[in-house]
Structure 1
Amino acid sequence: MMKPAFLLCLLLLTTSCKSAGDELVLTDHGKSNYQLLLPAQPTRAAQKAANILQDYVQRISGVKLPIATEGPAVTGAGIYIGATEAGTPEKIPPEGFVIRTDAKNVYIRGGSGQGIVYGVYHLLDTYFGCKKFDNGTAYTPREQRLHLRANMRDAQHPAFIYRQSYYPASQDPEYLSWHGLQQLDDLWGLWGHSFFKMLPPEVYFKAHPEYYSQVNGKRQPMQLCLSNQAVYDAVVAYLDKAIQHNPDALYWSIAPEDNNNYCTCDICKKADAAEGSPAGSLIRFVNKLAARFPQQRFTTLAYGYTAQAPHTPPADNVYIFVSSIDAYRGVPLAQEPSAAAFRKHLQDWKALGSHLFVWDYTTQFTNYLAPFPDYENLQPNLQYFASQGVQGVFSQGSGDTYGDMAAWNSYLQAALLWDPQADVATLKREFFKGYYGKAGALVKDYADALSNAVKAGQVKLDIYGSPVNNVNDYLSPANMARYTALLDKAEQAAGNEAPYAEHVWKTRLALDYTMLQQSLFYGIQEGGYRVADNNDHPVKPEWQGRISSFYDRCLRFGVKEMAEGGLTPEQYNNEWKERINTVWMPNKALNAPVKVATPFSQDYMTRGAASLTDGALGTTDYSFNWLYFQRQHLDATIEQSLTFSSVQTQYLEDVRHFIVRPVDAALQVSDDGVHFTTIATQKLSPMLEDTDDGKAQIKVLQFKLPQPVSTHYLRLQASCPDVLPEWRGSSHAPAICFDEIIVD
């Protein structure tokens, strides 16, 4: 006679595969009659998918489903993975999948590539409640009873053949597979701006200057000369070896360097004129390579001087990356006025029958941590790309360093790159609740408040902007106070519960960074880092603690650099230490009225002419506190009675952004503001290439007089060079930048 306990176990085993109503019960109270069944010759993807499903089912339910090969000996129910004999064969698009059940079994089939793996992760996420919000550990619920609806079918495939959201989470291979994303390193044998990767000037230029672009009548190592047969032969030789070394690469980039100094030799110029665009010689060159390597796919860039489509269509194995770099991000790209050129370029390349990819941008590259609320525009942008026949998207965020709302950006982009019609409201609800726990609703309100402030202020959200530039709109003091209150409440709601508290702290880095940057603009005014109502203007006593806390959290949360090619957190911290330890320099001209006779740029955040006497010093970021004179001279007059023996000011050198050293400077005085006398001059030495380390540098220009001088008007003049140094290799207009004039 069977014992009751044994009968109960037998009952559980025999009923676990049967439907409860319309359900297939896969596990129940530690028992299952299901196996994971593979075809006789499974693909690597199918084997990987089976291992993943086995692992997660065990994490969820405690049941380890056996993995076996299908066949006559199999008894009981099965979860069939891959192209098994059981089940109905289906035609599945590349990288797509089908999850299907009948009255007894489950079938997961995939298209080419990772389709079957994507299918398993979709099953775990959508039906079993697992979530992968970032590159941390996946959330796995504890559930004894796993079930699926009987006789259901879920078929999906991605909207784009190339899908990349470039944020830290993408460094996690499981995150990529979970969300159907890809990584450029896995697809491209050669990526991005590639001319000099193939023919580096340090190797070839000295012996073969003719390989490189002719600019202003002279061969310079700025781009390649694409009409030179020897260049083509050298690139073919490079690709022969590279393809042999990396035969699995899907794409090879043949693209110019990141500058506009294309070749203007007679042959290149003639080709570009015939094509109606400097992209003409590029497409002819890439098409020639595409014919030489017909089994390979090549990509190139419609960016900068190659943005405008030529007359010649790209070959069928050539894909064009169209860049949206010049557009503001406050409204969707389909409506944004500054995106008109991008839309035209996209349509013109489309008219040629091109395979189109888009290189899009979703962060502020000059300030990765600055709040950049373009989240509401991600869906309409991707829907627009899909409507234009775009086949792939590189959504460039902060890369492998943490940037503002990186986890939410990546999570949302991943879903929309797979399906641009996805339900964003549902995605938002599940992400903020799952990622922030009890603080989720408050952090969601914070993100919404940022987006709403951008809309209300009709802000031109700039990927090369600054949190200082927006002190009068979405990052105004009133708005900053509102955001701070929301995240204060979020911190209280999260308490010390891991990982939710850390996620709130990480999100708060954006406000901390904005406050620090804006304090540099405010200087000795309210909101600045120095005490306003004290003649010595010491640094506020709490500032050292703020800097230390910010630095510690940057290191803790994976901040590697503050901007693209910018300071590391350690360098940023050291700058602040130096600033805090710098004693205030008295200035007899502080807040004195000043007039500037020459025009300066209105594109950057200053207090106009008053920036020269407001006590707020410039930093290595030229976008605020500097008066920016492009091909204009500095001519500034302080209108105040002064007695002095020293005058100094700061100027900026940042050749990457075409900001150079002035040619000379002069100091003049006047009693009537009409007739001026020169009392001192300086001739500055030219900038040398080997003195430029690629980083912006602040320099001091000082006049020390042999004896005190009294005047009613003090004028400072400085000359801007007519052209950039030849070694800079650019015809871009040069600029000079000045900030505080200190009189003592």
Structure 2
Amino acid sequence: MMNTFFFTLMLFLQPGCHAAKDIVLVENGKARHKIVLPADATPAEKRAAMILKTYLGKISGATPAQISENAYNEGDAAIFIGNTGHVETFGADKLKGEGFLIATDDQHLYIRGGSGKGLVYGVYTLLEQYFGCRKYAAGPAFVPSKKTINIKPQLLDRQEPQFVYRETYYPAPLDAEYQEWHKLHSFEDLWGLWGHSYFKLVPPKEYFSAHPEYFALVNGKRQATQLCLSNEQVFKIVSDYFRKAVANNPDALYWSISPEDGTGYCTCDQCALTDKEEGSHSGSLIRFVNRVAAQFPAQQFTTLAYTYTLQPSARTKPASNVVIMLSSIDAYRNQPLADAPSAAVFRKALADWKHISNNIFVWDYTTQFTNYLAPFPDYFLLQKNLQYFADNGVTGVFSQGSGGTYSDMSELNAYLQANALWQPKISTDNVFSDFMNGYYGPAAPFITKYLEALARNLQTSKAPLDIYGSPVNDRNNYLVPAFIDEYSTLLDQAEKAAGDDAKLLEKVYRARLPLEYAALQQSRLYGTAKYGYLVPSGNGFAPNPKWAERVKRFTQQIKQAGVTELSEGGVSPEAYQQEWEELLARPWKSSLAFRKKVTLQYPFTPEYTAKKEATLTDGLVGGKDFSLNWLFIYGNDLVATIDLERAQKLSHIQLNFLQDARHNIFLPTAISVEVSADGRSFRQVTQQAVKAVTEEDFSARVETFKLAVNAPDARFVRITAKCLPKMPLWRGNDKKPAICCDEVFVN
């Protein structure tokens, strides 16, 4: 099944004769072969031998002897590891990168590696593809038990990587053995400085007060948003940093010189002139990085083609030791990147960078950052995207998943990506089946059907799969309650198939967590309606009495699964439970506006406003998640008119707004309330100015505004909340501010 990974598999048959017999490495628990290392074996060769010896012992109980090649007696059965003289029988040509060779003649086994960990990769590949071992997730590998171990004679398996850098960022690859087993890398190991690095090189806390000129000139004012790359002192500080850092960490392969997350680029005369000459804001960046890289020709420097630096410079090519790390962040994930309309800008940027550089890495994304646990059915597109990268000259991939926190099908995602990162052109169908059957055992058919149903309904719905999406968005109709019931039935069958196997049941429960998370989040959205967490009680509503225990059980399960945060930089399991406890303890508040019709002057943003205008009168308040129970308006004021259906006396208006600068959401600058008896002639009954957030503040919080009104005869209520006219300088981007309001309580 696994031989689809072989580059070459040759069985030499003598004409008129039967195939040669298998080579028996271990027979009845006793090793027949010795492990032979070069006379001057390197630490990597010794380690590879130890790994093989350890696993042969785990499989069969055998402990093969280990000797140096200069002590080897010709004719003795041997496993030659590393650059022995004997392996040259199969050619001494250099293996590409971290490639390896596994070969046999009629008696011996040979393993040779290229650079880096190539030899270790070869040993783990031998264990997996020939001896039946598997490493499905972090923790101990699966090791078959057999007293006799055979391998085919006349075998030649030469494998070389497609990409020089390969990382899938999920919990499993953080396990050291998993990483080596699956031929993966880690930025923690290979980068001396990683990611958004400007302020690691020139920290604003250290320099901004005394030297604001080191930082970007934005709208005529120096701001700690990015660096001023035309400032010679900045160049000197950065150069001095690398002089020390490289000396202290000479083994690091890559060093980042990259803008901070956001825009706020420098518009001083010199930086602006450079960018104009280069036709892109990446112009000043590439010129700066090239200057630094020229001082350290033995090191490789990476920089980000992302947001304002996405498009390449027109005149200056990146130096030979500069790597462009291109981001695909704006693309939806329900279609392959090669075809998705949302990826058109990324595809053009990749094509344009290819014209001026042969060193292009892609920073890709395979999770929903706003809801790590939400079902994210891109499982069957992962390999297609990696194939597209390979076909278009990409030399390295950082595939960003959920990092160290558990997320939707993270074990499967890591396993599929690891295999495709090594050889993207070879089908992963067998890899998928092998993982499902090996990891989920008798539950595999039902979990497979669940994943296929998710992916099928996603494609049928044509819903965008957004890495900043939400399981409560009405566009995500592959997660409507009817489908959730269908998925739940399949997972019920998986649980039944697992029987009394506690370990397997735990895996099935983990696979089910995203579905339970979606249902819980949706219950906040549905509220007083069917599938909501509220049920009728007297003249109002109260929490379903079963909900507290349901949330508690869910929280315990996600903690056990390894969930540390439910979104990027978001709440912990404990905080999530506390959110629910506060929500369930909060008395439902009646309002004259409950379920009344709302008319908006400016449109809401459909991606984040599942209930549309009704968000303002559904009886539900929002929390810190902007995508749940908030009316989201981008770049315009909130002007909402509520029809109370009959004229009434009004005394109070209460409403909430969200402040979340990380997602470009700001409090209004002013709030006013007008009333009308006929819907045509309005009079203002109250107004309130709101203090602007003038200093950097990226915390998310809800602000409640209680306004007294005197309206003895009002049927229509018009709320106007003025949107911040432009982004604060400290936010550092050129997008429009958004405004978010939840419930309007009228009493």
Question: 1:491 offset after TM fit, Å?
Answer: 1.0
Shift of 1:725: 3.5
Q: Note if 1:441 corresponds to 2:445.
A: yes
Q: CA deviation at 1:104?
A: 1.0
Following the alignment from structure 2 to structure 1, what is the Cα–Cα distance between the partners of residues 223 and 725? 20
C-alpha distance in 2, partners of 1:337/1:117? 41
Q: CA deviation at 1:703?
A: 1.4
Matched, 1:223 2:229: no
1:347 and 1:725 map into 2 onto residues whose CA distance is 34
Task: Give the 3-state SS of the residue equivalent to 2:140 in structure 1.
Answer: coil
Partner residue, 2:7? none
Mapped contact 2:474–2:611 kept (Cα < 8 A): no
Q: Which residue of 1 aligns with 2:38?
A: 39
The yes-or-no answer on 1:552 pairing with 2:556 is yes
Could you tell me which amino acid in structure 2 is paired with residue 674 of structure 1? R
Pairing partner for 2:460 from 456, 460, 466: 456
Q: Partner residue of 1:177?
A: 180
Q: Indicate the residue corresponding to 1:565 in structure 2.
A: 569
Q: Would you say 1:364 and 2:363 are equivalent positions?
A: no
Counterpart secondary structure, 2:678: coil
Q: Which residue of 1 aligns with 2:238?
A: 235
1:65 is displaced (CA, Å) by: 1.3
| TM-score, normalisation: structure 2 | 0.94
Q: Secondary structure at the match of 2:397?
A: strand
Task: Give 1:699 shift.
Answer: 1.3
Counterpart residue type for residue 609 of structure 1 = E
| Equivalences, count | 723
Q: Please tell me the residue identity of whatever aligns with 1:80.
A: F
User: Quick one: distance in 1 between partners of 2:214 and 2:519?
Assistant: 49
Cα separation, 2, equivalents of 1:115 and 1:720: 57
Give the direction of change, closer, same or farther, for the CA distance of 1:529–1:471 in structure 2 (3 Å limit): farther
Secondary structure (helix, strand or coil) at the match of 1:64 reads: coil
The alignment partner of 2:438 has SS state of helix
After superposition, give the CA deviation of every residue in 1:568-627 in whole Å (9 maximum; x if it has no partner): 111111101100111111112211122222333233233222221112322212123222
1:203-352 pair list within 5 angstroms: 203-311=206-314, 312-352=316-356
Q: Secondary structure at the match of 1:646?
A: strand
Partner of 1:645: 651
Counterpart in 1 of 2:608? 604
Shift of 1:660: 1.1
More deviation, 105-114/604-613: 604-613
Equivalent pair of 1:313/1:354 in contact (CA under 8 Å): no
SS in 2 for 1:47: helix
Q: Deviations over 1:367-413 (max 9, x none)?
A: 10011111111111111111111110000000111111100000000
Match of 1:720 in 2: 723
Provide structure 2 residue ranges, at least 5 long, that are not aligned to the other structure.
Answer: 1-17
1:501 counterpart (500, 505, 508): 505
Q: Which residue of 1 aligns with 2:12?
A: none
**What are the within-5 Å matches in structure 2 for residues 590-601 of structure 1?**
590-601=594-605
More displaced stretch, 120-129 vs 59-68: 59-68
**Per-residue CA distance 1:405-449 (angstroms, 9 max, x = gap):** 100000000000000122221111110011111101111111111
Name the CA distance, whole Å, in 2 between partners of 1:600 and 1:454.
24
Matched to 1:540, the amino acid is N
Write the letter of the residue equivalent to 2:670: D
Question: Which is worse superposed, 617-626 or 104-113?
Answer: 617-626
Provide the C-alpha distance between the structure 2 equivalents of 1:522 and 1:27, rounded to a whole number of angstroms: 63
Q: Give the 3 Å change call, closer, same or farther, for CA 606–94 of structure 1 in structure 2.
A: closer
Q: Return 731-740 or 263-272, whichever deviates more.
A: 731-740
AA aligned to 1:151 is Q
Question: What are the within-5 Å matches in structure 2 for residues 73-112 of structure 1?
Answer: 73-74=72-73, 76-87=76-87, 88=89, 89-91=91-93, 92-112=95-115
* 1:20 Cα offset (Å): 9.8
SS of residue in 1 equivalent to 2:515: helix
Match of 2:6 in 1: none
Aligned residues of 1:652 and 1:736 also touching (Cα < 8 A): yes
Tell me the secondary structure at the aligned position of residue 679 of structure 1: strand
Q: Does 1:743 align with 2:742?
A: no
**Contact preservation (8 Å) 1:520, 1:617:** no
- Residue 273 of structure 1 aligns with an amino acid whose one-letter code is K
Task: Work out which of the residue numbers 556, 573, 576 in structure 1 matches 2:580.
Answer: 576
Shift of 1:733: 1.5
The worse-fitting range, judged by mean Cα deviation, of 681-690 and 614-623 is 681-690
Distance change (3 Å), C-alpha of 1:420 and 1:64: same
Q: SS where residue 590 of structure 1 aligns?
A: coil
- Counterpart in 1 of 2:693? 687
Question: 2-side partners of 1:403 and 1:381: how far apart?
Answer: 20
**Shift in Å, 1:657:** 1.5
Structure-2 residue corresponding to 1:701: 705
1:653: Cα distance to partner? 0.8
Secondary structure of the residue aligned to 2:217 is strand
Name the Cα RMSD after superposition: 1.6
Is 2:182 aligned against 1:166?
no
1:212-267 deviations in whole A, cap 9, x for unaligned?
A: 11110111111111111111111000000100110000011111001111111000
On the 8 A contact 1:600/1:632 being kept in 2, the answer is: no
Aligned to 2:127: 124
1:72 shift after superposition: 4.5
Q: Which residue of 634, 637, 656 maps to 1:633? A: 637
Residue pair 2:609, 2:632 contacting (<8 A) in 1 also: no
Q: CA deviation at 1:533?
A: 7.1
The DSSP-based 3-state class of the residue aligned with 2:167 is strand
The one-letter amino acid paired with 2:688 is Q
Letter of the structure 1 residue corresponding to residue 541 of structure 2 = H
Q: Shift of residue 656 of structure 1?
A: 1.3
Q: 1:25 aligned to 2:24? A: yes
Gaps of 5+ in 1: 1-18
Contact kept in structure 1, 2:469 and 2:607, CA below 8 Å: no
Distance across 2 between alignment mates of 1:403 and 1:113: 31
Shift of 1:197: 0.6
Shift in alpha-carbon separation, 1:409–1:80, aligned structure 2, 3 A = same
- What is aligned with 1:481? 485
Is the contact between residue 314 and residue 354 of structure 1 (CA under 8 Å) also seen in structure 2? Answer: no
Alignment partner for residue 626 of structure 2, among 590, 603, 622? 622
Match of 2:535, SS state, is coil
Between the aligned partners of 2:71 and 2:124, the Cα distance in structure 1 is: 29
Q: Write the distance in 2 (CA, Å) between the matches of 1:717 and 1:423.
A: 56
In the alignment, the residues of structure 1 paired with residue 168 and residue 281 of structure 2 have an alpha-carbon distance, to the nearest angstrom, of: 30
Match in the other structure for 1:530: 534
Q: In the aligned structure 2, how far is the partner of 1:384 from the partner of 1:547? A: 41
State the percentage of identical aligned residues.
48
Deviation, structure 1 residue 708: 7.2
Deviation at 1:98, TM superposition (A): 0.6
**Higher deviation after alignment, 379-388 or 27-36:** 27-36
DSSP-derived class of the 1:468 partner: coil
Distance 2:223 2:483 in 1: 49
Query: Once the 2 structures are TM-superposed, how far is the Cα of residue 166 of structure 1 from its aligned partner?
Result: 0.4
Q: Using the TM superposition, name which of 606-615 and 232-241 deviates more.
A: 606-615
Residue 471 of structure 1 contacts residue 518 of structure 1 at CA under 8 Å; is this kept in 2? no
Task: Give the Cα separation in 2 of the matches to 1:729 and 1:655.
Answer: 10
Shift of 1:64: 1.2
Offset of residue 171 of structure 1: 0.9
**Aligned equivalents of 1:126, 1:654: Cα separation in 2:** 50
Contact 2:533 2:543 in 1 (8 A): yes
For residues 30 and 730 of structure 1, the distance between their equivalents in structure 2, rounded to whole angstroms, comes to: 66
* 2:147 corresponds to: 144
Counterpart AA for 1:29:
N
Which SS does the other structure have where 2:540 is aligned? coil
